[in-house]
Structure 1
Amino acid sequence: MGKNCLAWLLAACTCLAADAASAETFERITPAQAGYDADRLEQLRLLLSERGSEAMLLLKDGKVFFEYGDIDAKRLVHSMRKPLLSALIGTELGRGCLDLDKTLADYGIDERPPGLSEAEKSATLRQVLQSRSGVYHPATAETEDMAAARPARGSHAPGTHYYYNNWDFNVAGAIFEKCAGQGVHEAFAERIAAPLGMRDFTGRIVSLPDVAALPVWADGFRQLEPDVSRYRAYHFRLSARDLALFGQLYLQRGQWQGRSLVPADWVDESTAPASVTNADYGLAYGMLWSSLVPGPDQKRPSFYHAGVGVHMLGVYPDLDLVMVHRVNTEQPYSFNGGDLYAVIRAMHGARND
């Protein structure tokens, strides 16, 4: 056998051994051990089946006590891409270039002619991450509803108004890439996915004008609409299992097996409420994370992000709970936002209090 063939065989064996070792990403415990009622969790399982969910995972202290559906299937995470970028921002802070109080002008950010105004360029990176930049320029991957709700240019000064703004999110990715000297997807694969032991995200990324032509094997794509904006949207595909790993990392304040993958201070700062978005329900937005306004006795707020109103990654520190819910949104689906609220209520209703 030639040297090259032997090397290939050894590498293949190593990969197979690694796959076998990581076949069970999480330890399993019973619902009772997690403090949940098994019968009520079975009612949750029935609800998921009736409403059209594809997958759901519940972790207590990093251990799975409820699993439903295909947790291996990679699906577009949609707006849940924002917390992934937030983690990368945290990894780059303190390295010199990235500074939350630098302005868009400092980073050389401008737009298609006629460009940004001086007032718009005065927005800081912190305000961009909070979706409070006051820059209401059309954005790549902006939905019709977002475009219709977008305020008029110049209607709000930077820092004075919250608007869920894909332009902010896309520019945050561009600023990260400029400072890191590395692409968003490549940095995620190296700094987050590999250390966490993600099994399904392999970093195979393509550039496309839209999702319609996305190959089934791709882990994400870079989307640019040059007639709309200079800045790309960075889309990801992740499995329920890999999203749960990411949620567990944040539950542990960025610490993983003795390493700090994301600074704990950044986890706390980025998930804390910066803008109350619905006072009646206690909903807020931090920096690329949604959060719940904490009660007086809570040490850390619960935080989450949804995708097209049906996907969700939720982290509940006071309960030591991570929740992932997925729907196959890459084909026609019936699940809706109201169904997601029903799932969340059933999940919390299964707890033994």
Structure 2
Amino acid sequence: MRQRTRVAQLAGSLLLVSLLFSSCQVGRFIYYNFANITDYKIFPSRPLTGSSAPFRFPQSSRPNVPNALTAIAPTEQAVEQFLKDNKTVAFLVIHRDSIQYERYFNGYEESSTVASFSMAKSVTSMLVGCAVEDGLIKSVEEPLTNYLPQLKQNGLENVTIRHLLQMTSGIEFNESYVNPFGHAASFYYGRNLRKSIAKLKPEVAPGTRFQYISGNTQLLGAVLEKALAGKTITTYLQEKLWGPMGMEYDASWSLDKKKDGLEKTFCCLNARARDFAKLGRLYLKQGNWNGKQLIPASWVQESTKIDTTQGSAWHYQYQWWFPSNQGDYMMQGILGQYVYVNPAKDLIIVRLGKDYGDAGWPGLFTRIAAKY
């Protein structure tokens, strides 16, 4: 009898574990144990197609190790060891449209895919700018409930698209990446973003404080989806940017679920380092790609200017981070994914990594820029 009881208990435990890992966000959180740059392998996704005639950055005729790096490590070999020791998998420096420095580490190479994490927030902002230009979204001053009327019952009728872009919506959201029951885990590992979005509620009045939360960007994605009226966000990215920019490689955007999935617009654009660099180049060129205006210059300017009105923070605007007040800006993702842009120096830096390490990347980028 005891033997049968133990067998029944074991069977019940195995069933519980099976259900936990197969269908529950907490189970997936425990199993995968924090985000990894290979997470594009664990989620369903929609494909982006590289160009048959891609744009390629030319190699500089005089490539060199950036001076700021040699100040940290005196030889080229020491620089490479410094980058490798700080969990870097890709490091590119592009000056005046030419690659000055390009290295890959820790088993990665030029063709290796890396998950963007929150760098995708900046791309979502790009697409919102395109949608405004195309007349699909009338204005950033529109309330988000013009597109998601169901959120009126939650008290979000005063939240505008601008509030979402500036991270001043006042929405209650737990951004913790170590809490399996928090909003971030639900959005990242959950399988129904639309349902999760429908539960969001206000915490403070919109336009009164800056708070970086992924819920804002996923709401932008939901607005985009509604505005596109049947076209997927990935398809829109392909048509508006990925194709026209001549990306070198195929890529993808991760979804919450395979059937009728919604793009995780707060994260999860999966691409290669050189193609991430092109996104920086597009903003460096004020939205113009080799003579074709893909994003309005006014949108780029609005996205990258310092603004402290209505609760906005000086260091963040329209899903872009500002490492200084000198006109530079960057895309940024957890574990140290960066695309840094310095228009005054005509400079782009891409750093992708398995973790941040101890390099203090934004400060290092500004020191590198100062040497050009």
Q: TM-score scaled by structure 1? A: 0.72
The aligned counterpart of 1:179 is 227
Q: Give the corresponding residue for 1:215.
A: none
Change in CA separation of 1:337 and 1:147 when aligned onto 2, cut-off 3 Å: farther
Contact preservation (8 Å) 2:234, 2:263: no
1:312 to 338, 351, 355: 338
1:273 to 306, 315, 330: 306
Contact preservation (8 Å) 1:35, 1:351: no
Q: CA deviation at 1:273?
A: 2.8
2:94 aligned residue: 59
Q: Secondary structure at the match of 2:243?
A: helix
2:154–2:201: 8 Å Cα contact kept in structure 1?
A: no
Q: Deviations over 1:193-220 (max 9, x none)?
A: 1111112234xxxxxxxxxxxxxxxx22
Q: Is 1:257 aligned with 2:290?
A: yes
Alpha carbons of structure 1 residues 343 and 73: separation in structure 2 relative to 1, 3 Å:
farther
1:86 is aligned, of 122, 125, 132, to 125
- Give 2:154's aligned residue: 116
- Which position in structure 2 is the counterpart of 1:206? none
Gap regions ≥5 residues in structure 2 = 1-48, 185-199
CA distance in 2, matches of 1:100, 1:189: 23
The answer on whether the counterparts of 1:304 and 1:314 sit within 8 Å (CA) in structure 2 is yes
Deviation of 1:96 (Å): 2.8
| 2-structure distance, mates of 1:347, 1:293 | 8
Equivalent in the alignment of 2:264? 233
- Match of 1:312, SS state, is strand
1:185-334 alignment, distance < 5 Å: 185-202=234-251, 219-223=252-256, 233-234=264-265, 235-275=268-308, 284-295=315-326, 301-327=327-353, 329=354
Q: 1:31 and 1:105 mapped to 2: Cα distance? A: 54
After TM superposition, give the deviation of residue 177 of structure 1 in Å: 1.8
1:130, 1:288 within 8 Å by CA — same for their partners in 2?
yes
Choose 167-176 or 94-103, whichever is displaced more: 94-103
Q: Which residue identity is paired with 1:76?
A: A
TM-score, normalized by length of structure 2?
Answer: 0.68
Deviation at 1:338, TM superposition (A): 2.7
The 1:322–1:189 alpha-carbon spacing in structure 2 relative to 1, beyond 3 Å, is same
Letter in 1 for 2:356: N
Residue 178 of structure 1: CA displacement?
A: 1.5
Equivalence for 1:68:
103
Between the aligned partners of 1:310 and 1:153, the Cα distance in structure 2 is 30
| CA deviation map 1:259-296 (0-9, x unaligned) | 001111100101223359xxxxx96110111124524x
Structure 1 residue 168 corresponds to structure 2 residue 208: no
Cα distance between partner residues in 2 of 1:247 and 1:64: 13
Q: CA offset at residue 49 of structure 1?
A: 2.1
Pairwise CA RMSD of aligned residues? 3.5
* CA deviation map 1:162-192 (0-9, x unaligned): 1111111101011112112322211111211
Q: Distance in 1 between matches of 2:69 and 2:121?
A: 34
Letter in 1 for 2:209: H
CA contact (8 A) 2:322 2:329 kept: yes
Structure 2 counterpart of 1:26: 57
SS at match of 1:93: helix
Question: 1:190 is aligned with what amino acid?
Answer: E
C-alpha deviation, 1:350, in angstroms: 8.3
SS at match of 1:78: coil
Instruction: Give the AA of the match of 1:179.
Output: A
> In structure 2, what is the Cα distance between the partners aligned to 1:46 and 1:337?
13
CA contact (8 A) 2:64 2:101 kept: no
The answer to whether the 8 A contact 2:91-2:103 is kept is yes
Q: Report if the CA contact (8 A) 1:254-1:262 is conserved.
A: yes
Number of the residue aligned with 1:134: 170
